Amino acid sequence: MAKDEVAVVAGAGPGLGAALVRRFAHEGMRVAALARKREKIETLATETARASGGTVEAHPVDVTDEAAVGAVFDEIRANWAEPDLVVYNAGAYLPQGILETTSKEFEQCWRIGCLGGLHVAQQAARGMVERGNGTILFTGATASLRGSARFFNLAVGKFGLRALAQCMARELGPKGVHIGHIVIDGEILLKPDDPRAKERAPNALLDPDEIAETYLQLHRQRPSAWALEVDLRPWVEKF
C-alpha cells in the first residue's frame, strides 16, 4: 500500500525535485526530501505536507559527504522504515570551456553529479537487497548520452551516473531491486509562471509534474517488465 511506503528524493530543488516530492506525497507515501539548503527544503516539506495531507520530512544534507548521507538514511530508517523508492535527482553544472575550468570546479560537478549518486544508491540498496524489493531511480539528461561543447562539467558526471545505473541494474535486478535511469532531454518548466514558457511554442518545456508521473509509473512496474532507461522530451527536441 502506498500509505506504508517510504520515498526518498535526493536533490529536492525547484522544478523536478519539488514535483517528485509532491507526487509521492499525494500518492500517500511518507517522503524524505533531501537537499543542501535547509531553508528551501524545509519550506518545500511544510507546503507539500499541508497541501497533500501527507507526511514529508526535510533532511538538509550534502550528498557528496558519505557519512552525512549514511546518517540521514539511518534517521529515515529509525523514524519510518527502509525506503521503498529512492530517487537521485541532484546535479551540478558550470557552463565553461575546457580551458576555463579549474580541476576543483570540475571535481565538484562530478562529486554532485555522480559520486553523490553512489552514496545515496548504496544506502538505498543495502536495505532493498536484504528485503528483496525496492526501486532506485537516477535522473539523467541529454548530456548522459552525448557530450557537447562547454557541457563537459555536466556530461562527465551524467555519463558516470548512467554507467552506475546500468551496472547496478545488472547486479541488483536479480536480487529484486528495480534500477531506472531517466533521460530528461529538454528544458524543464521551473514554475507555472516561468517566463520562458511565454517565449516558446506550446508544450516546448517539460512539465515537471508529468515527469514525476513517469517516475511513479516506473516504481509501479512489475518485475516481468522492468524498464532500465526511459527518454522524456517535448516535441520540439530533435533526437
Average pLDDT value for residue range 154-170: 98
User: How many domains, in total, are found in the chain?
Assistant: 1
pLDDT band at 1 (very low <50, low <70, confident <90, very high): very low
d(CA 179, CA 159): 16
Average pLDDT value for residue range 28-45: 95
Mean pLDDT (the chain) is 95
d(CA 129, CA 115): 21
d(CA 150, CA 148): 6
Is 237 contained in some domain?
no
Is 239 contained in some domain?
no
Alpha-carbon separation of residue 68 from 4, 91, 120, 159 (angstroms): 25, 17, 10, 25
Question: H/E element holding 23?
Answer: helix 16-26
Query: Are the C-beta atoms of 137 and 85 separated by less than 8 Å?
Result: yes
Is 92 contained in some domain?
yes
Q: What is the pLDDT of residue 43?
A: 95
In percent, how much of the chain has pLDDT > 90?
Answer: 90
Is 209 contained in some domain?
yes
Average pLDDT value for residue range 39-61: 94
Is 119 contained in some domain?
yes
Is 13 contained in some domain?
yes
Check which CATH number belongs to the domain holding 171 and give it.
3.40.50.720
* φ, ψ (nearest 5 deg) of residue 58: -95, 135
Average pLDDT value for residue range 63-84: 98
Residue 80 φ/ψ region, left for φ over 0, alpha for ψ in the -120 to 50 degree band, beta for the rest:
alpha
* Residue 129, domain extent: 2-232
Q: What is the pLDDT of residue 195?
A: 87
Q: Tell me: the pLDDT tens digits for 86-115?
A: 999 999 989 999 999 999 999 999 999 999
Q: What is the pLDDT of residue 190?
A: 87
Query: Are the C-beta atoms of 113 and 10 separated by less than 8 Å?
Result: no
Is 132 contained in some domain?
yes
Average pLDDT value for residue range 127-153: 97
Average pLDDT value for residue range 144-168: 97
d(CA 78, CA 32): 13
Is 63 contained in some domain?
yes
Of 151-160, 181-190, 192-201, the range with the lowest mean pLDDT is: 192-201
Strands (DSSP E) contained in 21-94 are 30-35, 55-60, 85-88
Q: What is the pLDDT of residue 2?
A: 60
Average pLDDT value for residue range 42-47: 94
